[in-house]
C-alpha cells in the first residue's frame, strides 16, 4: 500500500522507499539497467505537511501542492510503506541488503521519529544503519541519542560548496531555514561522536561553484575526519531549478577523480593546480600514478556508506543520471568499454 491510498500515513509508522529499494524488496516490478543491484535501503521520513525547507533544487521543497510533496524525489517516485513490512522484507533479503539509511526531512518532530525508527530497525535486524540528518531541527543531544539508538554513520547534506551558494539555494535566497554554519557545526560534532570516517557530507557538482572551490570543500571535510559522497546536479521537474543545466561530464569526472584522490589519501588539494577559471589543471601526481587511479575505475563509482564487508553499500543506482551509456555515478565496477569512455570524458 502506498501513500496515495491514504494521506494520513506518516512517520514513524510509515516511511517512503526509493523506487529502486521498492524493486529490490519486491514491492514494485521492474528491471535494473545492466543488472545493477541496490545494497542499501533508503528510508525517507514522510509527513502530510511535507518538508519545511525550501531548497531550490529539491523535489521535497514545501512549495508544491500538499498531495504531491515527497512523492517524487531524485527523478523517481518514493512510495510509502509500513515500517514493519519493510523490515520483514529486508529480513528475507538480508544477503542482498547490506545497510539501511534513514533520511530526515526538515520538521521539528523528525529527530524523535528518526530515533524511534532507528531503534526499531536495530531491534529487529542485525544490520548497520546510517542517518542522513537535518541539522536545522536537531537539538544539542540528538546526535548522541542517534548513536544510542544504534546508528553507526551520519550524513550531512551540505550540498553546496560555498557559503554564498548555500545561502542562495537553501537559505535567505529562497527564504529557507538552513544556515551554513549550523550544518558544518553538525558535521564536526558528528565526527567527534561517531569517529573518523563515520560521518560525512553530500556535495553536489553543478550549482555554480568552480572546480577549485569544490575541491577545497572536499579537502576541508577530509581534514576534519569526514568523507564526501559526491552527486551531480540533476534538474528535478517539480523544483525551482527544473530548467538549470547539468554540469558537463568532463567537469564532473575531474571532480570525481579529485575526490577519490583526497578521500583515499593519495594526495592533498594544496598540491593541485588550476587554470585561471578554477578548472583543474593538475592533481599533483605523476602521470603514471594518476593513470593507475583512473584505470582502477573506483573514482567513478558511487561514493557512499559501506556495508559490513567494507564495500560501498549505498550505491544508489542511477540516482543522478538516467540509465544509459553516460552514467554519472557507476553503481558497479565500470567495464572496459565504460573506462574507454571515461578516459575521453575526463578532458586532461
* Cα 161-233-80 angle, rounded to 5 deg: 110
Determine which helix (DSSP H) or strand (DSSP E) holds 152, and give its type and residue range.
none
Task: Give the pLDDT confidence score for residue 65 in this predicted structure.
Answer: 40
- Pick from 305, 12, 15: which is nearest to 1 by CA? 15
* Cα 158-320-318 angle, rounded to 5 deg: 135
User: Which cell numbers in the block locate residue 243?
Assistant: 530548467
Residue 76: alpha-carbon gap to chain centroid? 15
Q: Mean pLDDT in runs of 10 for the chain (348 residues)?
A: 60 96 95 94 95 93 49 72 98 95 97 98 98 98 98 98 98 98 98 98 98 98 98 91 95 98 98 98 97 97 95 91 91 96 90
Considering the entire predicted model, what is its pTM?
Answer: 0.94
Task: Give the pLDDT confidence score for residue 73 in this predicted structure.
Answer: 60
- Pick from 194, 90, 182, 109: which is nearest to 148 by CA? 194
Q: Which residues contact 259 (CB under 8 A, 6 or more apart)?
A: 215, 218, 228, 230, 299, 303
Q: Please tell me the distance from the alpha carbon of residue 114 to that of residue 233, in angstroms, as a whole number.
A: 27
What is the length of the chain? Answer: 348
Task: Give the pLDDT confidence score for residue 60 in this predicted structure.
Answer: 86
Q: Please tell me the distance from the alpha carbon of residue 304 to that of residue 306, in angstroms, as a whole number.
A: 6
Q: Please tell me the distance from the alpha carbon of residue 224 to that of residue 164, in angstroms, as a whole number.
A: 21
| Beta-strand runs (E) in 219-279 | 227-232, 273-274
Cβ 42 vs Cβ 23: under 8 Å: no
Task: Give the pLDDT confidence score for residue 347 in this predicted structure.
Answer: 79
The counts of H helices and E strands in the chain are 10, 12
44: β partners: 16, 103
Antiparallel, parallel or unpaired: β 227-232 and 99-103: unpaired
Q: Cell 542511477 appears where? A: 318
242: β partners: none
- Pick from 72, 47, 50: which is nearest to 62 by CA? 50
Cβ 194 vs Cβ 225: under 8 Å: no
Q: Please tell me the distance from the alpha carbon of residue 226 to that of residue 100, in angstroms, as a whole number.
A: 20
CB atoms within 10 A of CB 231: 22
Half-sphere CA count of 322, side-chain side, radius 13 A: 4
- Pick from 155, 232, 153, 166: which is nearest to 201 by CA? 155
Amino acid at each position: 500500500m502506498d501513500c496515495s491510498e491514504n494521506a494520513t500515513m506518516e512517520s514513524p509508522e510509515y516511511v517512503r522507499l526509493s523506487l529502486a529499494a521498492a524493486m529490490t524488496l519486491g514491492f514494485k516490478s521492474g528491471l535494473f539497467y545492466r543488472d545493477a543491484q541496490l545494497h542499501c535501503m533508503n528510508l525517507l521520513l514522510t509527513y502530510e505537511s511535507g518538508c519545511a525547507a525550501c531548497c531550490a533544487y529539491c523535489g521535497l521543497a514545501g512549495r508544491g501542492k500538499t498531495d504531491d510533496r515527497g512523492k517524487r524525489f531524485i527523478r523517481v517516485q518514493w512510495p510509502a510503506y509500513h515500517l514493519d513490512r519493510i523490515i520483514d522484507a529486508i529480513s528475507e533479503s538480508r544477503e542482498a541488503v547490506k545497510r539501511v539509511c534513514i533520511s530526515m526531512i526538515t520538521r521539528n518532530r523528525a529527530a524523535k521519529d528518526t530515533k524511534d525508527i532507528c531503534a526499531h530497525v536495530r531491534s529487529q535486524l542485525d544490520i548497520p544503519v546510517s542517518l542522513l540528518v537535518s541539522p536545522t531541527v536537531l537539538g544539542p543531544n540528538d546526535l548522541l541519542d542517534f548513536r544510542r539508538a544504534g546508528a553507526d554513520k551520519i550524513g550531512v547534506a551540505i550540498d553546496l560548496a560555498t557559503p554564498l551558494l548555500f545561502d542562495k539555494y537553501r537559505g535567505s535566497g529562497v527564504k529557507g531555514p538552513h544556515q551554513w554554519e549550523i550544518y558544518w557545526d553538525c558535521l564536526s560534532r558528528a565526527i567527534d561522536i561517531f569517529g573518523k570516517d563515520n560521518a560525512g557530507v553530500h556535495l553536489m557538482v553543478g550549482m555554480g561553484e568552480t572546480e577549485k572551490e569544490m575541491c577545497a570543500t572536499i579537502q576541508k571535510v577530509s581534514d576534519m575526519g569526514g568523507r564526501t559522497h559526491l552527486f551531480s546536479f540533476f534538474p528535478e521537474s517539480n523544483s525551482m531549478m527544473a530548467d538549470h543545466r547539468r554540469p558537463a561530464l568532463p567537469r564532473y569526472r575531474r571532480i570525481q577523480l579529485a575526490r577519490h584522490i583526497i578521500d583515499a589519501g593519495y594526495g592533498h588539494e594544496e598540491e593541485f593546480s588550476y587554470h585561471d577559471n578554477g578548472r583543474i589543471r593538475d592533481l599533483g601526481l605523476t602521470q603514471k600514478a594518476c593513470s593507475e587511479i583512473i584505470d582502477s575505475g573506483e573514482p567513478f563509482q558511487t561514493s557512499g556508506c559501506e556495508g559490513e564487508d567494507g564495500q560501498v553499500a549505498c550505491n544508489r543506482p542511477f540516482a543522478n543520471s538516467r540509465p544509459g551509456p553516460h552514467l554519472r555515478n557507476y553503481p558497479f565496477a565500470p567495464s572496459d568499454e565504460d573506462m574507454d569512455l571515461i578516459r575521453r570524458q575526463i578532458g586532461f
